[in-house]
């Protein structure tokens, strides 16, 4: 019994044609018109590009992801890149030249505007993580650009439009790398400028490649040309793609190595967090230098030679070399064995320190209490003494305060407010002030007779 007896291949082919066929959903002529209309850099496109550059530059400057996404959505850079890929797929040299010309002008304007922005902006990029994210492209960016471009072409050519183009604009990220190049030029940071320019180049090339393959697969109309010319051009573009993709492969390899090292460290720390009476409470991975290293922060007892060798042996099982481990023992202590006499001396010294601290606290509290008592005025007693000398006095209020003889001088003063059933003569008021000054032993007393 053969496989054909179990599988009806005609039904399989019919099923695949039903769900995978593109013919009835694609309008190549409308797609070509749409792509051609988005290539020219004139009119509103100029202003839209300028606005997108400023928005992206501000977003990168303040590290705002939503602002950067907004710039991606309104950027018109995708038009000439897809136009170039379409011209390549249709053998249309005129379309190729037009797309390259307008793309070059757009790139130049974007670099000029972003460089001027970063030269003039008063904002400082203290933690430019979004800028850094555009300076180290890898093979993963190649995949994103290629499949994003493929989705974009299919969206442009299909009859019923959707929202795919917006997602493609965000995924392929053409505007932020160009603005990062502007930042690098403004600050003479060639690492930022070179890495971001390479990312933009990768995105552009592989979006164009996806457009070329889609044009061939969908059988876009071809422009006649001399025999052999297309083959020569195809070989040239293939070599260009290999040159472009080579650095990104190396970058991806570096990313994979870093990820593997971090994973090994994470598993090593998890499985060896406690060694005797020593505990690994934190760690930090450094991948900026070769070879990579990890700093282990330890708490508890200091590592002895046996425990240290135990950690070294365990690290080798996870692919970590001894030279890659750095022990930070700032939170550890050295355990020392004491005899009975030394223990008793330490206990007595500790008790003596405790008693000394308690005596110091008592003295401080006594001083504060004495100062407080000196501040309290005997208001009830003063009221009785005043009424004994001036029987008409009924109410007495005593308060301590400060008066200002001049703008740069202040003195302590006691304020006495009193009420009397009969008028108090001025000489009596002055006598009260003199008597109270001596009685209270203060620099100054002010007596105020209330009506």
Radius of gyration for the alpha carbons in the chain, expressed in angstroms and rounded: 42
For helices 229-271 and 305-317, the axis angle rounded to 10 degrees is 150
pLDDT band of residue 1 (cuts 50, 70, 90) is very low
Backbone angles phi, psi at 212, to 5 degrees: -60, -50
Residue 203's closest CA among 248, 264, 166?
Answer: 248
Sign of the CA dihedral 315, 320, 325, 331?
negative
Helix ranges restricted to H, 41-174: 44-61, 65-74, 78-89, 93-120, 129-132, 139-157, 164-172
User: Residues 297, 268: contact at Cβ < 8 Å?
Assistant: no
The burial class, CB within 10 Å (0-12 / 13-18 / 19+), for 93 is middle
Express each pLDDT in 127-155 by its tens digit. Answer: 677 777 777 777 777 788 888 878 878 87
**Residue 208 CB contacts under 8 Å (≥ 6 apart), including other chains:** 81, 82, 84, 85, 88, 149
**How much is the pTM?**
0.58
Beta bridge partners of 333: 301
Q: Name the token pair of 100.
A: 């390259």
pLDDT band of residue 112 (cuts 50, 70, 90) is very high
Percent of the chain with pLDDT over 70: 78
CA distance 432 to 451: 17
Distances (CA, A) of 308 to 275, 311, 313, 330, 334: 9, 5, 9, 16, 14
The position carrying tokens 């061939």 is: 216
Express each pLDDT in 241-261 by its tens digit. Answer: 777 777 767 766 777 788 888
CA distance 398 to 32: 97
CA distance 207 to 209: 5
According to the model, what pLDDT value does residue 377 have?
Answer: 63
Express each pLDDT in 377-429 by its tens digit. Answer: 676 777 777 778 888 888 877 776 666 666 566 667 777 787 888 888 888 88
Most confident of 174-188, 251-265, 345-359: 174-188
> What count of other Cβ atoms lies within 10 Å of the Cβ of residue 298?
22
């Amino acid at each position: 019994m053969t496989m054909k007896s179990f599988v009806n291949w005609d039904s399989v082919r019919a099923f695949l044609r039903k769900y995978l066929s593109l013919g009835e959903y694609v309008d190549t002529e409308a797609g070509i018109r749409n792509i051609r209309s988005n290539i020219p850099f004139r009119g509103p496109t100029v202003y839209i590009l300028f606005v997108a550059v400023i928005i992206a530059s501000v977003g990168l400057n303040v590290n705002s992801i939503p602002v950067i996404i907004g710039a991606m959505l309104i950027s018109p850079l995708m038009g000439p890149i897809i136009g170039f890929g379409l011209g390549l797929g249709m053998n249309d040299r005129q379309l190729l030249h037009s797309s390259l010309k307008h793309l070059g002008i757009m790139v130049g304007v974007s670099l000029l505007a972003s460089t001027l922005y970063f030269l003039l902006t008063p904002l400082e990029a203290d933690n430019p993580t979004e800028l850094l994210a555009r300076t180290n492209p890898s093979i993963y960016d190649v995949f994103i650009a290629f499949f994003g471009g493929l989705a974009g072409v299919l969206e442009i050519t299909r009859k019923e439009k959707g929202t795919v183009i917006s997602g493609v604009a965000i995924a392929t990220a053409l505007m932020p790398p160009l603005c990062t190049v502007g930042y690098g030029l403004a600050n003479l940071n060639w690492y930022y400028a070179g890495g971001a320019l390479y990312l933009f180049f990768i995105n552009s090339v592989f979006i164009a490649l996806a457009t070329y393959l889609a044009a061939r697969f969908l059988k876009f109309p071809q422009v006649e040309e001399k025999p052999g010319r297309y083959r020569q051009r195809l070989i040239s573009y293939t070599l260009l793609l290999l040159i472009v993709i080579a650095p990104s492969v190396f970058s991806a390899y570096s990313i994979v190595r870093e990820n593997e090292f971090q994973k090994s460290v994470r598993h090593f720390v998890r499985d060896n967090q406690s060694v005797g009476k020593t505990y690994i409470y934190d760690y930090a991975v450094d991948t900026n230098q070769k070879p990579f290293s990890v700093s282990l922060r330890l708490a508890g007892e200091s590592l002895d030679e046996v425990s240290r060798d135990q950690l070294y042996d365990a690290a080798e099982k996870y692919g970590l070399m001894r030279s890659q481990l750095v022990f930070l023992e700032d939170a550890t202590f050295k355990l020392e064995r004491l005899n009975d006499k030394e223990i008793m001396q330490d206990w007595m010294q500790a008790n003596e320190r405790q008693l000394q601290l308690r005596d110091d606290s008592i003295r401080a509290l006594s001083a504060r209490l004495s100062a407080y008592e000196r501040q309290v005025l005997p208001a009830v007693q003063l009221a009785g003494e005043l009424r004994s000398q001036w029987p008409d006095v009924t109410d007495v209020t005593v308060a301590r305060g400060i008066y200002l003889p001049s703008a740069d001088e202040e003195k302590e003063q006691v304020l006495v407010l009193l009420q009397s059933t009969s008028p108090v003569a001025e000489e009596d008021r002055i006598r009260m002030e003199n008597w109270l000054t001596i009685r209270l032993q203060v620099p100054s007393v002010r007596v105020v007779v209330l009506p």
